[in-house]
Amino acid sequence: MLDATPTVSALDYRDIFELRGRLYHQAMQKVPNARDNEFLNVVREARITPGMTVVDVPSGGAYMSRHLSDVELIGLETSQTFAELATARAQNVLLYENNQFPLKDACADRVLSIAGLHHVRDKCEIFLEMRRILNPGGRILVADVAEDSFVRRFLDDFVGHYCETGHSGWYFGASTRAELHDAGLNIIGDKRLDYLWCAQDMEQLADFCRLLFGMTLADTSTVADGIRNYLGIRELGHQVGLNWQLHCFACES
């Protein structure tokens, strides 16, 4: 394991994604089904039905859109780069800042958030905003890396070492439960989601991670070693998968 100290504060992540967003998008375009299990797990937990209005925040380049049909999907983003990349793919992504969403009260049946909130130190404000836009009877699903998980060690130690801008964050833990509670949200589900990110072979999987996490200081074979050491892999016959995990809270207001 590497002993790496992140080189930047996570306060700068909005700017970092203006730089890293295109590499992230390139990864998601090259291997669009790599994270299918992740999106499908959250969609399943959200119990989405046709006709619903679903808000995805932060949406990145609107990658959730592959997994939802017959709903109105609205992406929210802080990064201009991601918003432009999504708009170029004819996806509906709106920019927001200061944790304030450009949406009216009680307009969403579901609010989803995947792997973005560890960039936000004080999450209470954004949880309050999610609650404000939620319809009565609606549901919020927030999924992110847990502070005590092997995924956090991979991100902060390995990715942090090979990404020019480092990696650090405010991951999910006991304080997240308190912040959800403080925002007036009732936690109805609280669990780890374990699944695989998949590709056709180890080289493709490592290349995907290298681009997704902006590990420009590593070559593909170094990233493959990091994946094996920190995450572990599973051979699936025609594919290979790496172990990934997010902690998911389901909430009502």
Ligand X SMILES: C[S@@+](CC[C@H](N)C(=O)[O-])C[C@H]1O[C@@H](n2cnc3c(N)ncnc32)[C@H](O)[C@@H]1O
Q: Which residues would be at the binding site for ligand X (CB under 6 A)?
A: 13-14, 17, 58-60, 63, 77-79, 82, 114-116, 119-120
Q: How far is the CB of 116 from ligand X (least distance, A)?
A: 3
Q: Specify the residue, 79 or 139, whose C-beta has the smaller distance to ligand X.
A: 79
SS3 state at 57: coil
Look at strands 233-235 and 108-114 and give their pairing.
Answer: unpaired
Q: Specify the residue, 51 or 125, whose C-beta has the smaller distance to ligand X.
A: 125
Q: State the CB neighbour count (10 A cutoff) for residue 198.
A: 21
Looking at residue 37, the DSSP 8-state letter turns out to be H
Q: Specify the residue, 111 or 221, whose C-beta has the smaller distance to ligand X.
A: 111
| Angstrom distance (rounded) from CA 116 to CA 94 | 16
Q: Are 6 and 168 in contact (CB under 8 A)?
A: yes
Question: Which residue shows structure tokens 């959730």?
Answer: 64
Q: How far is the CB of 110 from ligand X (least distance, A)?
A: 14
Q: How far is the CB of 99 from ligand X (least distance, A)?
A: 7
Q: How far is the CB of 63 from ligand X (least distance, A)?
A: 5
Residue nearest to ligand X (CB): 60
Looking at residue 202, the DSSP 8-state letter turns out to be H
Q: Specify the residue, 14 or 51, whose C-beta has the smaller distance to ligand X.
A: 14
Q: How far is the CB of 81 from ligand X (least distance, A)?
A: 8
Q: Specify the residue, 125 or 235, whose C-beta has the smaller distance to ligand X.
A: 125
SS3 state at 249: strand
With residue 39 as reference, give the H or E element that holds it. Answer: helix 36-46
